[in-house]
């Protein structure tokens, strides 16, 4: 029997799935998901009308003030109009500015910004392109870690000996289906996030695995304030935001005091157990971490904690935490406490049991990763040692030369003269956008490659119009997907847009580094070169011409795996990359750093912004600022599917019926959501699936500050005008944007215009002149 056939003439892929577009008149009029995808993502709908959208940037643009006055701090950056210029002029001006900065200040004065989500393609990957280009000039200041899981990426090497590797090698979904009896999901397993994975997904199966687990009668316990984060849950424990570590420590206390923990596993596979047990029992601080202690913090029944701990000890139990719980002040603590709980149960490394971090945080977590390297554009060597944690960019720009602590080091923020941003929108990812905008205006020059007039483009000096993925040939591939996709261009570039490679090659030519950057290859020749290098690494793979004609190449998927199974079987012969070679329930290394905001073992620390703080009297609602369901981050917020999610023309804000009634609010009302840092507008959705005292508003609405309003008011509903720009702790300096204290009130009077819905003002020359 034959399976479905697929038209591969314009086959393409994206971070949210493989598809074939229908292109008419140069634009996408319809999208057909791959017939091999059992659960296609609705995010594909945002592609319709995106190629010729009015927000496309038609030609190079330069901010009027920069063109007139040259580089320098710009208090009006983000508000001034732009001047259209020709490609020859803008490339010449850009090359001159790069030459000035590298000659006068050196590569330590250039920040190479990119966040890696611009395209699923392996060659036209904006992050790789900009870093390769800057390395040929002498290097750049880089960022490290991610906004998504940056806290855990620093903590877990101290505890389990690996950071990103652990997050990519979770116990596989089929293993969970077969062996797990109880899955305790701190932060849930949000199915909305399963639509998205870096490099593309040809078959969305994670949600199906989760549904199969529920159908089999596996107990799925949701720990968190939003029931939508695990709609198939068997039980819901709506702990207050910010108290996850306390909840987990109380479970540990029950296991220890009732003799339900695995002393043998602690002895053979862990270090620091005695110190942690002393903390749990209150021997070090006089405060036993009992269920009653935790219940007062978490707002749940202590009996529910005790009963859950007993069930966990009697069954094959997986403890999993979403990335969201560590995107918070002291976010290291719940992750470390989750490892402790799994270790006390003694099930780490067993099929279906132990510890998992990130199920439901991204679409490919829980799927085994390829061991072979995917086709990848080499980025070269960056000799600049200065780098910053990714979530500390505003600190770097506001406080050049200032010393800060990070993971046991004392570092200094570099003094950046030029920011080169290619791929990504910092005015989406970052927190406290009023602070970021002030920091952004201190930089002498900001260069951005962008297809659309995003907030990042509007806050640049030199804006270079980039093509979008459907205007380029490329190769799509994912770390867990068994299919490489031939991404055939489906439409010509919009007006004067060029791909990043062509732009960088032109600038490199003027700077004399073109041979280093291009190596004499065209984009088409690079695709063939990268593919053939990948092909040589595995037997039976088709040649490039066959791959391109067929539209895909299949690889053998890795077998399902169990996290840390080898270490469990042989902790001596297969030790972890920790100082002891074992799981560090308490770390002498972290202890030696002397950080009071991240002690050397898991504990609960009260965040500055939580329901029990003094600030809660003014801002009594806890905001959950999570990833959106209607788009990937802020991409294509103007798209049909994203616009369909709006309420009152703004980002929706969900609120419990009791909290809505107390404020006289009803569904569809336009409201002002505000904190110490700023405010945004939102449309009310009354929802009993939220805990009382909690509101939820997703990130990703395009930053649209209302002119002349201070503190900042975002008309579109960008939640990051509300969140704090502080590090998780001095250990990780991770993003803390998942929670904030806010208040909500009805908006009275005319609603301000969402100005990012139209292109910014242009002045001076006629478009296309020069």
What CA–CA distance (Å, rounded) separates 126 from 112? 11
Name the pairing type of β-strands 235-237 and 270-271: unpaired
Write a three-state SS string for 404-468.
Answer: EEECCEEEECCCCCEEEEECCCHHHHCCCHHHHHHHHCCCCEEEEEECECCHHHHCCCEEEEECC
- How far from the centroid of its chain's Cα atoms is residue 767's Cα? 36
Told to judge if 117 belongs to the known catalytic residues of this protein, a careful annotator would answer yes
* Cα distance between residue 389 and residue 155, in whole Å: 13
CB 140 within 8 A of CB 131: yes
Angle at 575 between CA 572 and CA 576, to 5 degrees: 155
- Alpha-carbon span 214 to 103, nearest angstrom: 62
CA distances from 295 to 222, 306, 613 (A): 16, 11, 17
Please answer whether residues 571 and 268 qualify as being in contact, where contact means their C-beta atoms are separated by less than 8 angstroms. Answer: yes
Q: How far is CA 496 from CA 158, 368, 451, 492, in A?
A: 49, 41, 11, 10
Q: Which of 16, 66, 102, 117 is catalytic?
A: 117
DSSP symbol at 362: B
CA torsion sign, 409 to 413 to 414 to 416? positive
Peptide bond into 440 cis (omega under 30): no
Phi/psi for 329 (5° steps) reads -60, 135
Q: Tell me which of 115, 413, 420, 619 is the catalytic residue.
A: 115
- Give, as one character, the DSSP assignment of residue 632: S
CA of residue 760 relative to chain centroid, distance: 28
Sign of CA dihedral 549, 550, 551, 556: negative
Catalytic, 115? Answer yes
Q: Which residues are catalytic?
A: 115, 117
């Amino acid at each position: 029997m034959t399976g479905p056939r697929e038209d591969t003439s314009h086959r393409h892929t994206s971070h949210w799935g493989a598809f074939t577009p229908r292109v008419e008149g140069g634009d996408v009029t319809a999208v057909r998901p791959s017939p091999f995808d059992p659960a296609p993502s609705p995010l594909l709908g945002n592609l319709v009308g995106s190629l010729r959208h009015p927000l496309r940037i038609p030609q190079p643009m330069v901010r009027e003030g920069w063109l007139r006055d040259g580089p320098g701090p710009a208090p009006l950056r983000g508000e001034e109009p732009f001047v259209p210029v020709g490609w020859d002029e803008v490339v010449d001006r850009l090359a001159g500015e790069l030459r000035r900065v590298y000659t006068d200040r050196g590569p330590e004065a250039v920040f190479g910004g990119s966040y890696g989500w611009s395209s699923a393609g392996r060659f036209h990957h904006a992050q790789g392109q900009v870093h390769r280009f800057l390395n040929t000039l002498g290097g750049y200041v880089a960022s490290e870690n991610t906004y998504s899981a940056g806290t855990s990426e620093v903590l877990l090497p101290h505890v389990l000996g690996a950071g990103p590797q652990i997050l990519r090698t979770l116990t596989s979904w089929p293993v969970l289906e077969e062996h797990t009896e109880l899955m305790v999901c701190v932060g849930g397993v949000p199915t909305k996030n399963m639509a998205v994975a870096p490099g593309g997904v040809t078959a969305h199966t994670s949600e199906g695995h989760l549904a199969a687990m529920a159908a089999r009668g596996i107990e799925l316990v949701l720990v968190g304030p939003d029931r939508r984060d695990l709609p198939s849950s068997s039980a819901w424990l709506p702990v207050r935001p910010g108290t996850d570590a306390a909840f987990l420590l109380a479970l540990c206390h029950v296991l220890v005091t009732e003799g339900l923990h695995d002393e043998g596993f602690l002895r053979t596979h862990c270090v620091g157990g005695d110190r942690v047990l002393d903390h749990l029992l209150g021997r070090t601080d006089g405060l036993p971490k009992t269920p009653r202690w935790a219940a007062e913090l978490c707002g749940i029944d202590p009996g529910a904690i005790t009963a859950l701990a007993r069930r966990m000890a009697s069954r094959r139990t997986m403890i999993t935490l979403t990335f969201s719980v560590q995107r918070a002040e002291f976010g290291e603590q719940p992750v470390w406490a989750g490892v402790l709980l799994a270790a006390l149960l003694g099930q780490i490394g067993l099929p279906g049991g132990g510890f998992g971090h990130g199920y439901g945080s991204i679409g490919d977590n829980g799927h085994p990763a390829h061991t072979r390297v995917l086709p990848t554009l080499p980025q070269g060597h960056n000799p600049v040692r200065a780098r910053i944690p990714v979530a500390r960019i505003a600190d770097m720009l506001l406080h050049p030369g200032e010393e800060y602590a990070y993971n046991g080091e004392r570092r200094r923020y570099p003094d950046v003269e030029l920011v080169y941003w290619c791929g990504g929108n910092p005015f989406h990812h970052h927190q406290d956008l009023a602070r970021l905008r002030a920091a952004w205006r201190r930089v002498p020059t900001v260069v951005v490659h962008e297809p659309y007039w995003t907030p990042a483009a509007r806050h640049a000096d030199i804006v270079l119009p980039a093509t979008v993925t459907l205007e380029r040939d490329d190769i799509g591939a994912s770390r867990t997907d068994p299919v490489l996709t031939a991404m055939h261009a489906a439409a010509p570039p919009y007006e004067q847009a060029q791909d990043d490679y062509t732009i960088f090659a032109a600038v490199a030519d003027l700077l004399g580094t073109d041979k280093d950057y291009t190596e004499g290859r065209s984009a088409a020749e690079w695709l063939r070169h990268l593919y053939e290098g990948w092909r040589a690494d595995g037997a039976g793979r088709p040649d490039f011409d066959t791959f391109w004609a067929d539209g895909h190449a299949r690889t053998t998927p890795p077998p399902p795996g169990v996290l840390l199974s080898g270490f469990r079987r042989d902790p001596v012969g297969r030790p972890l990359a920790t100082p002891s070679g074992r799981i560090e329930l308490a770390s002498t290394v972290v202890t030696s750093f002397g950080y009071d905001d991240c002690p050397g073992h898991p504990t609960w620390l009260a965040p500055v912004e939580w329901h029990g703080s003094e600030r809660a009297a003014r801002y009594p609602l806890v905001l959950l600022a999570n990833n959106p369901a209607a788009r990937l981050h802020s991409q294509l917020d103007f798209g049909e599917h994203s616009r369909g999610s709006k309420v009152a023309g703004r980002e929706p804000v969900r609120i419990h019926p009791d909290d809505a009634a107390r404020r006289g609010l009803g569904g569809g009302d336009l409201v002002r959501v505000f904190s110490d840092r700023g405010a945004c507008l939102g449309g009310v959705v009354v929802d009993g699936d939220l805990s009382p005292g909690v509101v939820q508003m997703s990130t990703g609405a395009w930053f649209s500050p209302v002119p002349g309003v201070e503190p900042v008011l975002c008309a579109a509903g960008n939640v990051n005008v509300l969140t704090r720009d502080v590090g998780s702790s001095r250990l990780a300096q991770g993003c803390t944007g998942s929670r904030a204290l806010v208040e909500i009130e009805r908006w009275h009077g005319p609603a301000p215009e969402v100005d990012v819905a139209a292109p910014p003002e242009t002045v001076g020359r006629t478009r296309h002149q020069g």
